Structure 1
Amino acid sequence: MWAAAGRASKMLERNVSSVLRPTKGMDLRIKRGFCSKSQEESKQKPQVEGHTFRVTRYKPSDWEKKILLWSGRFKKADEIPETVSHELVDTAKNKLRVRISYGMIVLTILGCIVMIIRGKQAVKRHESLITQNLERKAREREEVDQSASAKP
């Protein structure tokens, strides 16, 4: 199978015009990114007319301070600085979201296990929706028969 695929690709390579055909020894790896700057250029801090860019900082609310504590970034509320970066709060919120989603997954699995156990217990007691519906319909028929016999 692989041999047939190799032959087909060689045939297609011959038919492709020389303009479209890559040169031999060319690196054909896909580059994922918006630009192809070298690593040295990207390590330099961006400057505009002598000014360096700083990470914007802001004062977190009480709720965001609790999130920073719950995410494990800080051990005590006293350790949280007065101003923090947006990225720090965002990563803490994302960590908390992941933990909450894991908790919901665990609760869902536990709920499924509980329902399976209760269903098996109901089968042992011979309870099912069919028997419950038949009993309810039998009671309704008896009520209709009693009301019909009570009317002279």
Structure 2
Amino acid sequence: MGSLRSLRQAAGSYFRLYERGASSSLRLMRNSNLKRINGYCAKPQESPKAPPYTYSHRVPLHKPTHWERKILIWSGRFKKEDEIPETVSFEMLDTAKNKIRVKVSYAMIALTVAGCIWMVIEGKKVSMDFLSVCSLQRI
């Protein structure tokens, strides 16, 4: 038992020393240039330049198609097709499409309610006709 415990302690201390040495060498590699490690003496590298595709604060624009122009008019954003600019923002186009979706859904609700009422009226007409036919057959 005693030898097993001492073996564990020795292995633990060995791994702690190994980790300490490995972490210090990694720290040196991170802080220094690769060329210095190889023994070359070179000036430090310049910081990388900003990429050419940096985000500008302009909103991306889109040239609307004929159908999208109709949507912009139907949504009430513009009165005539002549008033629509050459390019519009995607946000404006999405807003117009959402307004059209809402209007279409309201129209579908109204048509569904009207259809239900019409079916009730037609069903009552049929039942009245059916009752009148049945009463005539009894006589």
TM-score normalised by structure 1 residue count:
0.49
The total of aligned residue pairs comes to 81
Name the CA distance, whole Å, in 1 between partners of 2:73 and 2:55.
Answer: 34
Q: Which runs of 5+ in 1 are unaligned?
A: 1-47, 132-152
RCO higher in 1 or 2 (8 Å CA, sep ≥ 6)?
2
Paired residue for 1:91, among 82, 89, 95?
Answer: 95
Partner of 1:16: none
Partner of 1:64: 68
Letter in 2 for 1:91: T
Question: In the TM superposition, what is the alpha-carbon distance from 1:102 to its structure 2 partner?
Answer: 0.5
Paired residue for 2:118, among 99, 114, 121?
Answer: 114
Question: In the TM superposition, what is the alpha-carbon distance from 1:52 to its structure 2 partner?
Answer: 4.0
Name the CA distance, whole Å, in 2 between partners of 1:51 and 1:103.
Answer: 41
Question: In the TM superposition, what is the alpha-carbon distance from 1:97 to its structure 2 partner?
Answer: 0.7
Q: Which runs of 5+ in 2 are unaligned?
A: 1-49, 135-139
Name the CA distance, whole Å, in 2 between partners of 1:97 and 1:51.
Answer: 32
Name the CA distance, whole Å, in 1 between partners of 2:95 and 2:89.
Answer: 10
Name the CA distance, whole Å, in 2 between partners of 1:71 and 1:60.
Answer: 14
Paired residue for 1:124, among 121, 124, 128?
Answer: 128
The 4+ residue runs of structure 1 with deviation greater than 3 A are 48-52
TM-score normalised by structure 2 residue count:
0.54
Partner of 2:77: 73
Q: Deviations over 1:58-90 (max 9, x none)?
A: 100010000000000000000000000000000
Q: Deviations over 1:121-151 (max 9, x none)?
A: 1111126xxx9xxxxxxxxxxxxxxxxxxxx
The SS at the match of 1:72 is coil
